[in-house]
Amino acid sequence: MIDTHMHADARSSEDFELMFQSGIDTAITCSYYPYRIPHEMILLNHLNRILELDTARARQYGLDLKVALGIHPTNSSINPESIFKQLYRWIDEKQIVAIGEIGLEDLTESEIDIFKKQLDIASETDSKVIIHTPRKNKPEVLKVILDIIPQHIDEKQAVIDHINQDVVNQAIDTDCMLGLTVQPQKMDKFEAISLLDEYGFDKFLLNSDISNKPSDPLSVPKTVRELKRQGYGKSDVEKVACKNAVEFFSL
């Protein structure tokens, strides 16, 4: 199984062990610094910590931790140029599987500018992007995201994450992959399964988005096991358990 979106820097080593023991072989950790950053070097140090320390921590417990790095909209008040420069290096050295998570939160000018630039970098380097959608004003913000994406990148390079019942109709007809976050206060496993049942398994990825907020490191295996319990076909279950992620991220 693959958990396609988590924040390893906010989690304990015990979580990595639990995930591996529950059947998760691979996870993708994304960048998100939940505090106000006065200088870009703080964010750069944080991103390097994810790349070097957290992958090593996870590896000790058997978890193959892949990395997505970028500027989360929460961190868009910094001067982004040094981060942009590093993105090119990380991509060139094949150290990251995607630019992410990026996206929009409050629709500020700096958020939008940084989002567009990171999409341009992804397009230029043929990289994948993991795109955040917020808890608040999700339909309004997603509308702006969906307008921006095709102006800067092939939709097939993007996964739009934290999709739920309220906004799935906005995104289902795009060429983007869609991330279902099974997490307390976002979506439970039955709501995720309801969306898969209605829209099929081809366009969706499963993730826990475990972070400093209320989280369940086992939400992906719990959802996969529930799919099996309810009798969904093996090939469909495998798509959201791992196959879609392997193909999208070239894992």
What does each C-alpha distance from 53 to 26, 46, 62, 140, 163 come to in angstroms? 16, 10, 15, 37, 30
- What's the pLDDT at 34? 82
Q: Tell me the average pLDDT across 5-21.
A: 96
Q: In this predicted model, which residue has the larger pLDDT, 217 or 214?
A: 217
Full-model pTM:
0.96
- What's the pLDDT at 18? 97
Is 26's pLDDT higher than 90?
A: yes
* Other beta carbons less than 10 A from residue 112's beta carbon: 17
- What's the pLDDT at 12? 93
Assign domain 2-249 one CATH number from 3.30.450.20, 3.20.20.140, 3.40.225.10, 3.90.1150.10.
3.20.20.140
Q: Which residues contact 203 (CB under 8 A, 6 or more apart)?
A: 172, 176, 177, 178, 244
Q: Which two tokens stand for residue 129?
A: 């992007």
Is 138's pLDDT higher than 90?
A: yes
With b meaning 16 or more CB within 10 Å and e meaning fewer, what string describes 157-181? bbbbbbbbeebbebbbebebbbbbb
pLDDT digits (tens, 9 = 90+) for 34-67: 877 878 999 999 999 999 999 999 999 999 999 9
- What's the pLDDT at 78? 92
The domain segmentation of the chain, as residue ranges, is 2-249
Q: Rounded to an integer, what distance in angstroms lies between the CA atom of residue 245 and that of residue 247?
A: 5
Q: Pairing state of beta strands 98-103 and 64-69?
A: parallel
Q: Rounded to an integer, what distance in angstroms lies between the CA atom of residue 38 and that of residue 157?
A: 31
User: Bridge partners of 177?
Assistant: 159
